[in-house]
C-alpha cells in the first residue's frame, strides 16, 4: 500500500472529522457508531482507525481543533478593545460574540452534547479559564476600565468574564434554542438593557435623575 503524503493525510483527517461532527450534532455521541462515521466520510473501517484509535479520541480531536478556532476569534474580538467597560465597547463586544455564536453553531452544540453525555469533561476547562484569559488578553486595559467611576472592588477580569458570558448566553439561546426575543424585546434593545444593568446597576443613587 503506497504511503500517503501529509496533505492527503490531513485531507482524510478533516473529512473524517467533518463526518463525525455532523453525526454527533444530529444523533449524539453515543447514538453515533464508528461505522456510520466511516460510511459518511467514505473511508473503510480499517482506514478510519489509522486516524483515530477510538470514537472518543475523534470527538476530543474535533473539540480541540474547534477550540483553537474559537480562541483565535475571541482574541480578535478582544484585541481592539480599549475602554473595556464603556457602553460603546460593550456593544462592540456583544456584536463580536454574536458573530462567533451565529457563525459556529456546531461548536456550541458540541458543548451542550458534552454536558449531557460526558458531564462536561471536554469543555469544563474552557469556562474555568475564562477569567484568566480576559486578564491575559486585556491586561492593563481592565484596570484602566475601573477608573471611569467609583469602582466597587470587584476583580475586573471576573466582571468582564461575567459580561462576556451573559452576551454569549443571550445569543446561544437566540441561535440554538429558537428563543427569538426571549427577553421580550428586539436584540439591540435587549443588549442595551443588559449593558445598562451591567454598568449602572438596578438602583440610582440618591438624588440622581435619569
DSSP secondary structure string for all residues of the chain: -PPPPHHHHHHHHHHHHHHHHHHHHHH-STT--HHHHHHHHT--HHHHHHH-SSHHHHHHHHHHHHHHHHHHHHHHHHHT--STTSHHHHHHHHHHHHHHHHH-HHHHHHHHHHHHHHTTTTTHHHHHTHHHHHHHHHTHHHHHHGGGS---S--HHHHHHHHHHHHHHHHHHHHHS--TTTTSS-HHHHHHHHHHHHHH-SSPPTT---
User: CA-based angle 10:14:15, to the nearest 5?
Assistant: 115
| Residue 186 maps to a domain | yes
Instruction: Say yes or no to pLDDT of 210 above 60.
Output: no
The mean pLDDT value for 5-30 works out to 90
Q: Look at residue 198 in the predicted model and tell me its pLDDT.
A: 92
Q: Which domain holds residue 83?
A: 63-200
Instruction: Say yes or no to pLDDT of 1 above 50.
Output: no
User: 69 and 31: one domain?
Assistant: no
| Residue 210 maps to a domain | no
Domain count within the chain: 2
Q: What is the pLDDT of residues 133-188, one digit of tens each?
A: 999 999 999 999 998 878 888 999 999 999 999 999 999 999 998 878 899 999 99
Contacts of 9 by beta carbon, 8 Å cutoff, 6+ apart:
51
What share of the chain has pLDDT > 90, as a percent? Answer: 69
The mean pLDDT value for 105-126 works out to 92
Q: Look at residue 9 in the predicted model and tell me its pLDDT.
A: 80
Instruction: Say yes or no to pLDDT of 204 above 60.
Output: yes
| Residue 208 maps to a domain | no
Q: Look at residue 93 in the predicted model and tell me its pLDDT.
A: 95
| Residue 146 maps to a domain | yes
Question: Which of 53, 77, 93 is the last residue before a domain boundary?
Answer: 53
Q: For residue 31, give the CATH number of its domain.
A: 1.10.10.60
> What mean pLDDT is reported for the chain?
90
Q: What is the pLDDT of residues 76-104, one digit of tens each?
A: 999 888 889 999 999 999 999 999 999 99
Amino acid at each position: 500500500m503506497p504511503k500517503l503524503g501529509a496533505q492527503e493525510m490531513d485531507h482524510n483527517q478533516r473529512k473524517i472529522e467533518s463526518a463525525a461532527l455532523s453525526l454527533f450534532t444530529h444523533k449524539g455521541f453515543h447514538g453515533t457508531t464508528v461505522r456510520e462515521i466511516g460510511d459518511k466520510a467514505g473511508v473503510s473501517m480499517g482506514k478510519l482507525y489509522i486516524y483515530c484509535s477510538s470514537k472518543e479520541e475523534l470527538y476530543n480531536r474535533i473539540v480541540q481543533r474547534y477550540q483553537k478556532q474559537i480562541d483565535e476569534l475571541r482574541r480578535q474580538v478582544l484585541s481592539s478593545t480599549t475602554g473595556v467597560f464603556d457602553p460603546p465597547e460593550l456593544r462592540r463586544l456583544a456584536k463580536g460574540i454574536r458573530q462567533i455564536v451565529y457563525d459556529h453553531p456546531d461548536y456550541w452544540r458540541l458543548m451542550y452534547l458534552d454536558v449531557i453525555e460526558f458531564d462536561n469533561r471536554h469543555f469544563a476547562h474552557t469556562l474555568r479559564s475564562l477569567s484568566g484569559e480576559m486578564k491575559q488578553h486585556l491586561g492593563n486595559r481592565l484596570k484602566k476600565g475601573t477608573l471611569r467611576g467609583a469602582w466597587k472592588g470587584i476583580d475586573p477580569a471576573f466582571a468582564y468574564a461575567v459580561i462576556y458570558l451573559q452576551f454569549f448566553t443571550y445569543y446561544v439561546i437566540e441561535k440554538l434554542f429558537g428563543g427569538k426575543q426571549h427577553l421580550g424585546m428586539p436584540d439591540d434593545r435587549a443588549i442595551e438593557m443588559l449593558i445598562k444593568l451591567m454598568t449602572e446597576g438596578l438602583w440610582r443613587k440618591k438624588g440622581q435623575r435619569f
